[in-house]
Amino acid sequence: MTDPNDPIHLKFIIIGEANCGKTAIMRRFTEHKFYSRTPLTVTVDITKKPLTLQDQNVVLHIADTAGQERFRSVTKSYYRGSAAVLLVFDITDRTSFEQLGMWLTDVRNLTQTGTVCALVGNKFDLQLQREVEFTEALAFADDNGLHYFETSAKTGLNVEDVFLNMTWIILGRIKEGKLKVLSENGDVALIGEDGDDDEIDDPDKKIDPSKKTGQSNCNC
């Protein structure tokens, strides 16, 4: 691990359908506030959040991405080098859950082995209106090797836990020599058995959609 006085920069990316609360989650974590109305994110909005965990200074570079289809080609460039991916859906909107497979395909294609991945079911404050049961979402997460959290950006429930848990896992892998921080933009790389950076040869490679859903670059 580096000198605790020197911050470790880590890139997080938040993805998912429009209106599932990605921006609200980011603002709840970074500003400790909830805005009932927020404009739709256009392409990507990056916010820095400094943390101190057991005397280690960390700066999270959190990329809040647009959920609209027309911006996906632009936001894909932000996947590469991400230390963590938060895949968000709205528990009161089944369509946002049904689209998770599409988003997960992008994660598999565009992130490296070792990226920490979490599935986040947001809007728990509206749980009486939920269209996706906890057990169903948890089964999807388990099948795909994802950590699962249910959050409320409105009340703050579990929002901080998502980011802190992901950060702890990443710091552990850096300490073990499995991940290397590449830049102050928060990009990381997997360290191969030979000690070299294990980069993705082709970030635009496609996967066979017939493969088992559990196969993923995420090493969660």
Domain-located, residue 136:
yes
Q: H-helix or E-strand containing 173? A: helix 159-175
Domain-located, residue 218:
no
Domain-located, residue 206:
no
pLDDT on residue 41? 56
pLDDT on residue 211? 32
pLDDT on residue 148? 98
CATH number of the domain at 184, please.
Answer: 3.40.50.300
Residue range of the domain that includes 87: 8-198
Task: Identify the CA nearest to 44 among candidates 16, 74, 68.
Answer: 74
pLDDT on residue 35? 85
Domain-located, residue 208:
no
pLDDT averaged per 10 residues, the chain (length 220): 76 93 94 80 79 94 72 69 95 97 92 91 97 98 97 97 97 91 81 46 32 44
Count of the separate structural domains present in the chain: 1
Residue 30 near residue 47, CB atoms below 8 Å = yes
CA 90 to CA 180: how far, in whole Å? Answer: 33
Domain-located, residue 217:
no
Domain-located, residue 204:
no
Domain-located, residue 211:
no
Count of all residues that appear for the chain in the document:
220
Task: Dump pLDDT digits (tens) for 21-44.
Answer: 999 999 999 999 998 766 655 457
